[in-house]
Amino acid sequence: MIAASNLAIGYGTTQVAMGIDLAVAPGEILCLLGPNGAGKTTLFKTLLGLIPALQGAVAVNGILVGDMSRAALARAVAYVPQAQVMEFAYTVLDLVLMGRTAHLGPFTSPSAADHDRARSALNELGILDLADREANRISGGQRQLALIARALAQDAPMMVMDEPTASLDLGNRFLVLARVQALRERGFGVVFSTHDPDQARELATRVAVIADGRLAAYGTPDETLTAATLSDVYGVPVALERTDTGRTVIAPAKPVS
């Protein structure tokens, strides 16, 4: 479990948000929503111990993140950043093998079993054919899938994903969302951010909305993804509409004539 208590996040003396209380247990998907600049990525970095909390605490399985070694934390929580350009010409397989680092001893090279695990993770996402390609010479969407494969190869029971579908086409977006759902069904805990409230409604067991320097809403999708909350958070009038298939979707509110 990842749990945050009375958390204030930011950089140095600059506070981005405060009063954050949330928890993610095995078999749960927490979706994080909020406007650009609200602090979603800052919250992720704080949960992962990459930057210190300004106030409050973050614990993983009851242990404060600050008291965990980097290797122990990596064995507990995997991180999928937003798609990025690599500084070096790693192959896709080498990139995914980095996920095995937490399981290796000092000065130990990846074993044949580690290579098999990395290839298995690539295969799960349908990109095994990219294994020998340079990670800088594939599309942004393919690179995002490779980063997710790296997290899968890490074999951590919790996964934090920063807008994992942002650069993906429709088919790959569905593939990733199905993979996230499959992880939950296997008992993984997942935290992911998105700009799509409909995506959160379909996938999340719990939703956290950050806006105006605070946790604006926290609860089930039905409790948090209301027209009133979303209109207030994003500053535009929205409405919830029911489709012919029975799904609830979020759309711009029609002006009153």
Range of the domain at 256: 226-257
Number of domains in the chain: 2
Spatial distance between the Cα atoms of 130 and 144, rounded to a whole number of angstroms: 12
* pLDDT for residue 48 is more than 60: yes
Flag whether pLDDT at 257 surpasses 60: no
Instruction: Give the pLDDT score at 86.
Output: 67
How large is the average pLDDT for residues 41-48?
90
**169 and 214, same structural domain?**
yes
Same domain, 88 and 175: yes
| 143-168 pLDDT, tens digit each | 888 888 999 999 998 999 988 888 77
Question: Which CATH number characterizes residue 13's domain?
Answer: 3.40.50.300
Give residue 169's pLDDT: 83
230 and 213 in one domain?
Answer: no
Assess whether 167 and 234 both reside in one domain: no
Q: Specify whether 46 is located in the same domain as 159.
A: yes
E strand or H helix that includes residue 42: helix 40-47
> pLDDT tens digits for 207-216?
999 998 899 9
Same domain, 155 and 250: no
Q: Could you tell me if 181 and 207 lie in one domain?
A: yes
Q: Are residues 145 and 249 in the same domain?
A: no
For the stretch 89-144, pLDDT in tens is 789 999 999 999 888 877 788 899 999 999 999 998 889 999 999 988 888 778 88
The pTM (predicted TM-score) of the whole model is 0.86
Q: Do 230 and 117 lie in a common domain?
A: no
Judgement on whether residues 170 and 234 belong to the same structural domain of the protein: no
| Integer CA distances (angstroms), 252 to 98, 154, 185, in order | 43, 40, 33
| 157/244 Cα distance (integer angstroms) | 38
Average pLDDT over every residue of 215-224: 92
Contacts for 216 with CB less than 8 Å, ≥ 6 apart = 34, 209, 210, 229, 232, 233
- Residue 238's closest CA among 206, 189, 197, 188? 197
Least confident of 17-26, 42-51, 104-113, 117-126: 104-113
Contacts of 55 (CB under 8 A, 6+ apart): 6, 7, 8, 18
